[in-house]
Chains A and B, each alone.
Chain A
């Protein structure tokens, strides 16, 4: 899409006037909310699909035309365009569909308001009606009709005595069950119309699933023809080609006003190069129905302002197209985009959505925000004084650089990865193992070992769990399949769990992909070491993963990649090399997205470990760029942190304006984030000066340093510390709860720490500070800001009312620690 420049409401109105004046077919009154006027000289429009091939007499292809206005809004002009076929009469137009007539090539021509667009049309086998294929034709009908969903016959035990593979992952098994089970009842080749299989679908006999399609539908025709032809299976030596890809057109729609419409077309391309219009076979869905709804024919209707992805799923492929819905009476002046590459991409997206970003935060806010994000601690009073007194223009960048050098930065990231790697002692993993593993991880971050190198060491590790603590990766989870799932989730941001039992319904992963990927870990073996607490992990160069449906040994295959030659090699090393290679499409972006989410509160792909076609990035370009940058920085993610912290997107205020108050995913303003459990406890200890004591760590060790996931306190558990049971990023929660509030109010953490730390005594007795100064010191210590006059007045009157001044000050300290401002990073 063209970048948007400054434009005003009047320009918009002019554009709209132009469209209304165009001498075209009648436009439905509600198609656009404002009639276009003053047409441009050459309208910007496109027709889809960009190439049409018709491969048999059965084939057809629907098409669509969209026009893009200068302000970026797109209009579905399919029925306003003059369609014709140029050249040979190889195809004919029926409504918005092209049907083959004869073999040859031609052009589909669209004329609109003086502009012309052409699409090449190729037809072959125009007179040939190939027999109906079970896998290519019947299975898609069953899937489209919802027969094999989990709530129907796709359930593990089937439904009402008939079982099919979920979403059709096992066509051979389905064929067997349809044609060979319960004798002649399910299919009746003598009288195909009497087949129970067909009658149930039509609803002419009682069927729990009701009527799935009508007798005059193409679905019925396909099924009946297949039955009439003898309900044959596809010959083993002549299997239909696999679906190579699916596309949905148009690739993007910007709709104006609620009720605006856009028709989408889905096209599948098979491995033999043939294509198929699957608009009537694909399952359409949307990730944001309030913004864009899509029906089963690919028609999108705009809802409220926002962004949505509409998706088409066919076979194992899910593809999406972005739909933006803008209000009709928008007053928008695109601000100038300044800042670094992040801001360019964020700004571009904001302009696309017509969002106005919030201004930058204050220095006080930045100091506290960056310090908590980077070190998990509060800025000290001295750091506050230095930063506030600094007049240098680049002082924010300098601060970030200083913070990145602190060991707490490594500890935060070691802890985050310890959560993902589930570092925890158990009956099988000794405390020493867990401790050494966590130390290894901290050391990796402290020494700034590039992440790719660290992951290679982790995945390819062999040796004793004491002498080579990274081998504990294979001890925390010993199951081969789960190990493979964890690797995909932690290092690629992909959840493959569904594909263990059936092809992934919302992503591209099939059971073949799943077991092929798991095969990389099939040869991991373990044995006892001399010290019974230690295990030795090694590659035994034998052992395979079996596909549960076919029973075949699976050849190791990269997820979404090729099948490497693993002979004589440690498969894990082969995988680690591929995963961390600069060209890998998942690793760098996934890690970068985790880093981004840490600093902004929400990932570009959210959840950060759920990257799939049906959960696309809110800013794909930025998502890719961050990954590219990480590779460029040789996986030194400190540099990425520098970029993120230097961006305006990070430095924005949390205050919102009218346009961006509902924006949660486009970084138009900063989000208010509850400080994670461990860091919050550390901040509390830091603010009060009262150290915590954790098992197996010296006094004064911070909660972030807890090595063993089985070590916890009530505070940490209540505030959502990750129990390290799964690799899911969602384990550590910052959701508020009543027990958190009650614990801070009534529990012993705050009160005990205030008493233990003795801060007020120290300030009053040793440093001889006045009541005002003490309050100010507490404010700086806890909130990194000076109290407002109003706050000061109110607190002083409360302090004065206390029986003793120190008690009043401690009460004030308690109140500040209980304030929302303290427990949130803002």
Chain B
């Protein structure tokens, strides 16, 4: 048995390998971060990296000068971080000639990097480090890492752990760092597990009570580390604000901000002032990096920059009768941002917003979202009569509140904000944005394969496609899509997204001579209805790169981007086409699509076909393949009785084995026309006895004229029943079809709800097939002949003597002894 286990395991691994897509995967960065102002060599570890060619960067501040594959699992990247690059996380995606990798975050810091050196898992074997260093390491299962630092009396240090923020795991392998500072007596003087600012990552400030050596301990909060639990631990005297107040202003402003800091003295906090130059455009999430003579914060704080006029809270405003008046730019437009702090336990802040009757107002709180404030908002809105209109604690799984109300009367409406547990403190910052409900358009990209990396690699000389979905709020109508910044040699074909649909395919084709290249592409959409033009509705693609999934695939950490990676990939070894059908598909109808491939010399592999998407109500058989040696296959499709009538672009994705995984290419789109049913059949309920004949008259209504001939076939006839003329021709004026049924003497008795009519209209352009049921036929047993006298009782037979009971061996032995 011993040899069986490895063999079985091997088989499993082999299966996994072939079932993976050919997309490259980056599992780990080594090192996890770089130092700004330096050029660093970075090794990307992963799979299918041997043909890596480029790195795509979604943020400015880094420059890649070389991408050098070392082998199929390692790529060396030479990267330079400019000296003024803000410390923080920088997303990168690796482009290879066969695909685009998952997105990973690279840390950029200002402090020297030190590698964790084992053994340092005991208090006594702590690794000595200097201050103002970033330690990189890994917390394996039940591992603990200790570092020792020497501090002067009253010296303040910050320790920030980046753990989950550097993670990549889609299978519930969470790394949740816990840090503590211990004195010589092994007492934890201060510790941190989760922090609202950094989610599951930890942050602490420590002021040394006396000069000496202190240990910094890092572990998983419940000893659940693993080989992928890598961290960066920033230890130093750098400033580390935990809140910026007010949390944003209008573009181009110089924000006079108050920064809230930990003091290292329990929960005590202190504040400093800062001037923050805001960007000239609106930014949903703007990083504020704090710098002082003692260092620079290793990760930014986040605020919002947009055109809303800001009202800053002024205490006292914890009485509904004395709210802060909200500044609005236009007396008819009650849109504003309210910034403040729930400064202490039981604090409540009230604002008065002047609204006009009939205005629908959306009130959205930003606290945990963007600002990463500890505040768990509760927002309540009251009318001018002080009667409650609406209240909200959490919005879905988000602790931030969202409320909407329609003003019933002109006047000052009150917005109340507090913490759900009535807690408060200097860092409990918030920003409330009140807006009039306006049309909003959001775009997303539909995932085609579970956990696929977000990027489109277009095979040279071929096509790839993606499905773009739209979310329209407060408007409707058709949308037009546009893609810009495509790599050279790639062109996009878009179709209008119909009013009734919320998704549409976008096709990208690469010229046969397109050079290697990749870029981050903007995808946007606008309504086509000119009447909506004055509203300036436009939507951009918003992508969520999931980096950490918990149990049941709960999204715990990810990166949001509004640009999509697109690259030119190696050509596919075949060309693939779907033949444009000459006839439409009707509701309750079916059709076969012919898919053909033209194989390149040497390609003999199997090609499997799945639909890019299904038009509403249309079903496609996704199990068909073009086998080795074949060049075409028919794909059955069906339309249900409610399929959406209209013309729909359709395409098939062809998947094939590249030798390193699965390759994909998309067919040119065809237009599938969906029409209403051509016929309506009415089935009578009929019954007949065994051995009789039974005529079945099916009513027909021809819904609209047709070209060609039409034949109707009765199918689903039960066993033992036959029809001499199961196929009959239908003319436009036909109202009934008579199917003569013969019920054999041995037919299956019972009710059979299986009868269907299949109507086929044949013309030069092709067939149109419609299938409709369900007719019911009951097959009866003839009644038995009447019996007058009871049958004579059978002659009684004397009962046979009971057979001797078989004896067990023990009983036999007993008998012998008697």
Q: Give me the interface of A with B, judged by CB distance under 8 Å.
A: 431-432, 435-436, 462-463, 466-467, 527-533, 536, 538, 696-699
Contact = CB atoms under 8 A, between A and B. Distances in A.
Closest 8 CB pairs of A and B: A435-B222, A432-B222, A532-B554, A696-B223, A698-B142, A431-B222, A462-B421, A538-B421
Nearest to A539: B421
A463 B223 contact: no
Given A431-B222, A435-B222, A533-B551, 20 more contacts: A432-B176, A435-B223, A436-B221, A436-B222, A466-B193, A466-B194, A467-B194, A528-B394, A528-B397, A530-B199, A531-B194, A531-B199, A532-B397, A532-B551, A532-B554, A536-B376, A536-B421, A538-B421, A697-B142, A698-B223
Determine which residue in A432, A436, A698 has the highest number of CB atoms from chain B within 10 A of its CB, and name it: A432
B200 interface: yes
Contacts of A432: 176, 221-222, 224
A431 B142 CA distance: 14
Interface in B396-424: 397-399, 420-421
Interface residues of B, number: 24
Interface string B365-400: 000100000001000000000000000011001110
B450 to A, nearest CB: 19
Determine which residue in B223, B368, B554 has the highest number of CB atoms from chain A within 10 A of its CB, and name it: B223
B142 A696 contact: yes
Contact of A527 (B144, B222, B393, B554): B393
Nearest to B399: A530
Contacts of A466: 193-194
B421 A531 contact: no
Nearest to A443: B188
A531 B222 contact: no
Contacts of B176: 432
A531 B142 contact: no
Given A696-B223, A698-B144, A531 B200 contact: yes
A532 B223 contact: no
Contacts of A527: 393-394, 420
Contact of B420 (A431, A435, A436, A536): A536
7 contacts: A435-B223, A529-B399, A530-B199, A530-B399, A531-B556, A697-B223, A698-B223
B550 interface: yes
Say whether chain A's binding surface is mostly helix, strand, loop, or mixed.
loop
A538 B418 CA distance: 15
A435 B556 CA distance: 20
A432 B223 CA distance: 9
Interface of B: 142, 144, 176, 193-194, 199-200, 221-224, 368, 376, 393-394, 397-399, 420-421, 550-551, 554, 556
Contacts of B200: 531
A432 B397 CA distance: 20
Contact of B222 (A463, A530, A696): A696
A420 to B, nearest CB: 22
Contacts of B144: 698
A466 B192 CA distance: 11
A431 B193 contact: no
Contacts of B193: 436, 466
Given A431-B222, A528-B397, A698-B144, A463 B421 contact: yes
B795 to A, nearest CB: 50
A536 B393 CA distance: 12
Contacts of A699: 142
Nearest to B397: A528
A148 to B, nearest CB: 48
Given A530-B368, A531-B199, A698-B142, A431 B399 contact: no
Contacts of A435: 221-223
B224 A431 contact: yes
Nearest to A433: B222
Contacts of B393: 527
B233 to A, nearest CB: 20
A467 B374 CA distance: 11
Contacts of A536: 376, 420-421
Nearest to A435: B222
A530 B176 CA distance: 14
B363 to A, nearest CB: 20
Contacts of A528: 394, 397
A466 B221 CA distance: 10
A538 B221 contact: no
Contacts of A531: 194, 199-200, 556
A696 B178 CA distance: 14
B145 to A, nearest CB: 12
A432 B376 CA distance: 22
A697 B224 CA distance: 9
A534 to B, nearest CB: 8
A533 B748 CA distance: 59
A782 B376 CA distance: 55
A470 to B, nearest CB: 14
A432 B398 CA distance: 21
A444 to B, nearest CB: 15
A697 to B, nearest CB: 6
B223 A533 contact: no
Contacts of A533: 550-551
A536 B397 CA distance: 12
A538 B142 CA distance: 33
A675 to B, nearest CB: 27
Contacts of A697: 142, 223
Contacts of A696: 142, 222-224
Given A431-B222, A432-B222, A527-B394, A532 B556 contact: yes
A697 B144 CA distance: 11
A253 to B, nearest CB: 58
Contacts of A538: 420-421
A362 B554 CA distance: 61
Contacts of A431: 222, 224
Nearest to A534: B194
Contacts of B199: 530-531
Contacts of B142: 696-699
Contacts of B394: 527-528
Contacts of A532: 397, 550-551, 554, 556
Contacts of B224: 431-432, 696
A467 B193 CA distance: 8
B176 to A, nearest CB: 7
Contacts of B368: 530
Determine which residue in B144, B222, B223, B554 has the highest number of CB atoms from chain A within 10 A of its CB, and name it: B222
Contacts of A529: 399
A538 B199 CA distance: 21
A530 B367 CA distance: 12
B414 to A, nearest CB: 21
Contacts of A462: 421
Determine which residue in A527, A530, A531, A698 has the highest number of CB atoms from chain B within 10 A of its CB, and name it: A530
A589 B398 CA distance: 45
A504 to B, nearest CB: 37
Nearest to A431: B222
A427 to B, nearest CB: 9
Nearest to A463: B421
B789 to A, nearest CB: 50
A358 to B, nearest CB: 43
A428 to B, nearest CB: 11
B186 to A, nearest CB: 11
A431 to B, nearest CB: 5
A705 to B, nearest CB: 11
B661 to A, nearest CB: 32
Nearest to A537: B421
A698 B223 CA distance: 8
B425 to A, nearest CB: 13
Contacts of B551: 532-533
Nearest to A538: B421
Contacts of B421: 462-463, 536, 538
B224 to A, nearest CB: 6
A698 B399 CA distance: 35
